[in-house]
Amino acid sequence: MLPIARGEAPATDDLSGKTVATLFFENSTRTRLSFTMAGKRVGAEVLDLNASTSSSSKGETLLDTALNVQAMGVDGLVLRCSASGGPQLVAKGVRIPVINAGDGRHEHPTQGLLDALALQEHFGRKSLDGLTIAIVGDVGSSRVARSNAQSLTALGADVVLTGPPSLVPEAMAELVTSTENTRGSVRVEHELDGILGSIDAIMMLRVQFERHGGLGIPSDYVEQFGLSVDRAARLRDGAPVLHPGPINRGTEIDPEVADGPRSLILDQVTCGVAVRMAILKGLLSRNS
Amino acid sequence: MTSLLIHGGRIIDPDSGTDATGDLLIRNGCIEAISTDSPLPRDADSSIDADGCLVTPGLVDPHVHLREPSNGQPHRETIAIGSRAALAGGFTTICSMPNTQPPPDTADRIKDLVSRGKMANAARVYPIACGTMNRAGEEATDVQKLIDAGAQGISDDGDGVACDAVMDTILQRVAAADTCFMQHCQDPTMTLGAAMNAGALAVRMGLGEWPPAAETSMIERDVLLNGKHGARYHAQHLSCSKSVDVIRKARAEGQTVTAEASPHHLLLTEEACEGYNTIAKVNPPLRTSQDIDAIKEGIAQGVITILATDQAPHPPQAKETDFASAAFGMVSIECALPLYKRALVDEGVIDWSRLIAMMTCEPANLVGLPEAGRLRMGGPADVTLIDPDLEWTIDSSTFLTTGRNCPFDGWSVSGRALASIIAGEVRWALPGARMEQTAIAGH
């Protein structure tokens, strides 16, 4: 899928005749467009439902909206909502595949997969065994961090969730409970400078001021946890820098770092299209 | 009405210390005789063979939501329905919580509730009145007037009273009126956006965390304030171990503090929320097995003296939504007795006599009902007949309440109320049970 996502190989028509609807009850540019691109690259028709102008603003429930879309003959749903567990609720009620494009603080599974793919590509191997990967910032509010903890540990990496205690509760260390498919570990750190030299990759998270109303974010947050040029220089040679976007330049990451040689930020975006192509193809071609 | 003889049952009346096989004679709605040494004459107008049954005072549930009035809210439950459901659980006396729309914060509204309860002609319904106007937590109500109008206690249930000064005023008025205050002990400033117990599971599920300290800190504050007033202060639905410790200490110091436990906090943990199961969403939330152990220990030690269901019916749409948006609360009044038995008697925490005390005279004393919750000679004959070993499967679709939000649906349990008798009249009998004929004859 990656060559297609990169434009190096022609798109396919594997899902020709299939229709995917994106239902986004939260604002998104990147993820929504990425799913739209991915759908088109595997031959599906993609419809976007603008949730802010849909019946949900008239009090219709999430499930009723989804049932209506299903009744129109749509073959798959891509759903983002602010409610943790919303996609699970919908998936129980409809027949067609539901793809979670982010639910509250809970999960963002395609992000977890695309970040894993970006790291696999960077390190040139399928397994992430032996690698230590830091996820830095507002981890407690982050569905990206939760999904990455799952995907990266499943591939063998050790994940270090890093940030101030108010944003990274100790219980985050217990995020991954399944030992069946997991080889890596999860731990919590409250200091960034101490771990810079011992990690193999670093993922910066956007500070979600809108989720906190500013509460819980220390006033010296940027000073303590921002990935400045100086901090980036203390990373191991070649250790890549990731960010799920959208980035706040000069806040959690300096522009020189975001645009610098370590940055995988735009590779992540390309991987996102590839991962979503694979997911759509895998789910919808089975559902014929 | 004439006479009814209930013979051969195990009569448990914790208030008088009775626990023996015997006969109970009811005449003109009142208890005329109890005999545990020799049989009473079999010449009553009707009789019930209670062999193998428990014969107890009518059960008392001090914490029930009847949802009436519900102006502008899509509730289906009414006082008539809810008080009938109570009978089906063996409860002859219930207290209705004031989180209705509008809430009972004036004497007229209390009088209205009293008359609606009487009209329903099912379990006896005693309204609990608001502690603050419109349950807004800002201005204390006129407690004396509310009690004079027929309220049997004061609470802002559904919300804790957060403001110290307001709470201080309420406790002073509650003490002066010689009534009780029932605190929904949850500090609202600590539970903004919270949906389930704080901990690793909530973190994993991405749900707002509800810390145990929200409960314990409010009880500690209340105990401190009440030291000066000596009001009958009651902590509702304890959910966590530290709260039990605070109640234990306060009672040891001689404070007039009581506390209740609910079936779900004795039998379910936060794990019931897995899979975003909204039926398990309740306020205060389900916690951990260590908390359950602490609550049971508190019951065994007599620290927690009252059992209460917090019966909270909701229409389906209130639960069939995402977890954070779903309503808090669950129903259990029609199956509470076997649930308490399972958690407490079967596990050897307390015996039947103590269990019945926690469901009769203890709550009756709390809300100041000297005639309820006991078998007093000459007093009103409110009696519950219980088959302590009847095995059955909880099926919420058969409940009399409109609520189907029961986390115990499908559980196999033992023990069940067979009949609920109020003032000598069999108001409810389990369909198919031997008392059913008496019930029909009695009507």
CA dihedral B314, B316, B321, B327 (to 10 degrees): 0
Query: How confident is the model over B121-139, as pLDDT tens digits?
Result: 999 999 999 999 999 999 9
Six-digit token string for A70: 């299903």
**Chain B closest-CA separation from residue A87 CA (Å):** 9
CB pairs under 8 A between A and B: 59
CATH superfamily of domain region B3-56+379-389+413-439: Urease, subunit C, domain 1 (2.30.40.10)
The model's confidence at residue B223, banded by pLDDT at 50, 70 and 90, is: very high
Q: Residue B61: enclosing H or E segment and its boundaries?
A: strand B59-64
Q: How many CB atoms within 10 Å of residue B70?
A: 15
* Best residue of A63, A79, A105 to probe chain B, by most B CBs closer than 10 Å: A105
Nearest to A61 among B199, B205, B321 (CB): B321
3-state secondary structure chain A: CHHHHCCCCCCCCCCCCCEEEEEECCCCCHHHHHHHHHHHHCCCEEEEEEHHHCHHHHCCCHHHHHHHHHHCCCCEEEEEECCCCHHHHHHHHCCCCEEEEEECCCECHHHHHHHHHHHHHHHCCCCCCCCEEEEECCHHHCHHHHHHHHHHHHCCCEEEEECCCCCCCHHHHHCCCCCCCCCCCEEEECCCCCCHHHCCEEEECCCCHHHHCCCCCCCCHHHHHCECHHHHHCCCCCCCEECCCCCCECCCECHHHHCCCCECHHHHHHHHHHHHHHHHHHHHHHCC
Put simply, whether A163 touches B (Cβ < 8 Å) is: no
CA distance B281 to chain A (A): 14
ipTM for this prediction = 0.91
With an 8 Å Cβ cutoff, the interface of chain B facing chain A consists of 198-200, 202-207, 275-276, 317, 320-325
**What value does the CA radius of gyration of chain B take, rounded to a whole number of Å?**
21
Architecture of domain A2-104+269-286: 3-Layer(aba) Sandwich (3.40)
For B149-178, how does the pLDDT look when each residue is reduced to its tens digit (9 = 90+)? Answer: 999 999 999 999 999 999 999 999 999 999
Give, as one character, the DSSP assignment of residue B345. I
Radius of gyration from C-alpha coordinates of chain A: 19
CB distance B206–A104 less than 8 Å?
Answer: yes
Q: Which long-range contacts (CB under 8 A, 24 or more apart) does B423-427 make?
A: B423/B1, B423/B29, B423/B30, B423/B380, B423/B381, B423/B382, B424/B1, B424/B4, B424/B26, B424/B27, B424/B28, B424/B29, B424/B30, B424/B381, B425/B1, B425/B29, B427/B87, B427/B92, B427/B121, B427/B122, B427/B123
Give B46-103 pLDDT, tens digit per residue: 999 999 999 999 999 999 999 999 987 777 899 999 999 999 999 999 999 999 999 9
CB of A112 within 8 Å of a chain B CB? The answer is no
CB-CB contact of B373 with B361 (8 Å): yes
Q: Omega into A10 within 30° of 0, i.e. cis? A: no
How many CB atoms neighbour CB B208 within 10 A?
18
**B426 or B441, which is more confident:** B426
Residue B398 in this model has a pLDDT that exceeds 80: yes
Domain regions of chain B by residue span: 3-56+379-389+413-439, 58-366
Tokens 């937590």 label which residue?
Answer: B137
A149 HSE (CA, 13 A, CB side): 28
Q: How far apart are CA A57 and CA B150, in angstroms?
A: 44
B372 CA to centre of own chain: 14
Q: What is the mean pLDDT of residues B226-242?
A: 98
Catalytic site positions of A = 30-31, 58, 80, 108
Nearest-CA residue of chain A relative to B324? A83
**Strands of B78-199, DSSP E:** 91-96, 124-127, 154-155, 180-183, 196-197
Task: Find the distance separating the first CA and the last CA of chain B, reported in whole Å.
Answer: 10
Tell me if B105 sits within 8 A of B130, measured CB to CB.
Answer: yes
Q: For residue A105, which residues of chain B lie inside 8 Å, CB to CB?
A: 206-207
Exposed / middle / buried, residue A73 (Cβ in 10 Å: 0-12, 13-18, 19+): exposed
Taking phi over 0 as left and psi of -120 to 50 as alpha, with beta for the rest, B276 belongs to left
Start-to-end CA span in chain A (Å): 21
Fold that domain B58-366 belongs to in CATH: TIM Barrel (3.20.20)
Is the pLDDT at B229 greater than 50? The verdict is yes
Distance between CA atoms of B247 and B235, rounded to whole angstroms? 8
pLDDT in tens, chain A (288 residues): 999 999 999 999 999 999 999 999 988 889 999 999 999 999 999 999 876 655 666 678 899 999 999 999 999 999 999 999 999 999 999 999 999 999 999 999 999 999 999 999 999 999 999 999 999 999 999 999 999 999 999 999 999 999 999 999 999 999 988 767 778 999 999 999 999 999 999 999 998 776 666 567 888 999 999 999 999 999 999 999 999 999 999 999 999 999 999 999 999 999 999 999 999 999 999 654
Please, where are the H alpha helices in B182-276?
A: 200-205, 213-229, 241-252, 263-267
Q: Which amino acid is at A181?
A: N
Spatial separation of the C-alpha atoms in residues B77 and B66, rounded to whole Å: 6
User: What pLDDT is attached to residue B345?
Assistant: 98
A-chain residues within 8 Å CB-CB of B203? Answer: 140, 169, 171-172, 174-175
- Return the pLDDT at B75: 76
What pLDDT is recorded for position A286? 67
- Percent of chain B topping pLDDT 90: 95
Q: B296 to chain A nearest CA, in Å?
A: 27
Q: Which of B203, B206, B275 sits opposite A171 (nearest CB)?
A: B203
Smallest Cα distance from B214 to chain A, Å: 18
Going by C-alpha positions, the residue among A191, A110, A199, A206 that lies closest to residue A157 is A199
**Which pLDDT does position A29 carry in this prediction?**
83
Indicate the SS3 state at residue B73. Answer: coil
Residue A212 is predicted with a pLDDT of 62
- Range(s) within chain A of domains with CATH label 3.40.50.1370: 2-104+269-286, 111-253
Q: Cβ contact (<8 Å) for A81 and B325?
A: no
Q: Is B112 exposed, middle or buried (0-12, 13-18, 19+ CB in 10 A)?
A: middle
pLDDT of B443 reads: 43
- State the smallest CA–CA distance between residue B206 and chain A in angstroms: 4
Strands laid side by side in the A158-162 sheet: A186-189, A158-162, A132-136, A201-204, A241-242
Written as six digits, the tokens of A87 are: 């996609």
Residue A213: exposure state from Cβ atoms within 10 A (0-12, 13-18, ≥19): exposed
Secondary structure (3-state) at B389: strand
Q: What's residue A180's pLDDT?
A: 72
Report which residue type is found at B315.
P
As annotated, the active-site residues of B are 310
Contact A175 B204 (CB under 8 A): yes
Q: Please report where in the chains the tokens 């434009």 appear, as a residue.
A: A7
> What amino acid is encoded at B215 in this protein?
E
| Chain B neighbors of A83, CB-CB under 8 A | 322-325
Measured CA to CA, the distance from residue B19 to residue B11 in angstroms comes to: 5
Extended strands (E) in B128-222: 154-155, 180-183, 196-197, 209-210
CB contact A79 to B (< 8 Å): no
What was the pLDDT predicted at B442?
46
A207 vs A246: CA distance, rounded Å? 10
Question: Domain A111-253: which topology?
Answer: Rossmann fold (3.40.50)
A107 touches chain B (CB under 8 A): yes
Model confidence at B439: pLDDT above 60: no
Q: Is A158 at the interface with chain B, CB within 8 A? A: no
DSSP B204: H
Residues of A in contact with B198 (CB under 8 A): 171
Are B203 and A106 within 8 A, CB to CB?
no
At A271 the pLDDT is 98
The answer to whether the CB of B219 falls within 8 A of the CB of B247 is: yes
Q: CA–CA separation, B265 vs A228, rounded Å?
A: 49
What predicted TM-score, i.e. pTM, was given to this entire model?
A: 0.94
CA gap A192, A196 in Å, rounded: 6
